[in-house]
């Protein structure tokens, strides 16, 4: 896969994660407490320093008040829009 395209796709994912958290009215600390991780965990995945596996993403989506399916649909729209 083209690294530049991959980087752009990853950036879109990170932007959507941050925007979804902000729309939920949550701070990084709020999310971290709900998933029982340090605030640095949230910071690291939001800036791309750490990747999330699908189960972690599912748990984070739950905290953000969005289903994994809806989050994936929004991501797909952005990637292809």
- Give the per-residue pLDDT at 63: 99
Say what the pTM is.
Answer: 0.90
The total number of structural domains that make up the chain: 1
Structural domain including 71 reads 3-80
Supply the pLDDT for residue 20: 99
For residue 81, the model assigns a pLDDT of: 82
Q: What is the CATH number of the domain that holds 14?
A: 1.10.260.40
CA atoms within a 13 Å half-sphere pointing along the CA-CB vector of 68: 8
pLDDT tens per residue, the chain (81 residues)? Answer: 556 656 899 999 999 999 999 999 999 999 999 999 999 999 999 999 999 999 999 999 999 999 999 999 999 999 998
How far apart are alpha carbons 34 and 49 in whole angstroms?
A: 21
- What pLDDT score does 31 carry? 99
């Amino acid at each position: 896969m083209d690294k530049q395209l991959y980087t752009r796709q990853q950036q879109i994912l990170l932007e959507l994660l941050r925007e979804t958290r902000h729309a939920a009215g949550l701070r990084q600390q709020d999310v971290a407490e709900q998933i029982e991780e340090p605030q640095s965990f949230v910071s690291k995945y939001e800036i791309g320093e750490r990747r999330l596996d699908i189960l972690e993403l599912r748990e984070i989506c739950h905290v953000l008040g969005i289903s994994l399916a809806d989050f994936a649909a929004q991501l797909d729209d952005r990637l292809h829009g």
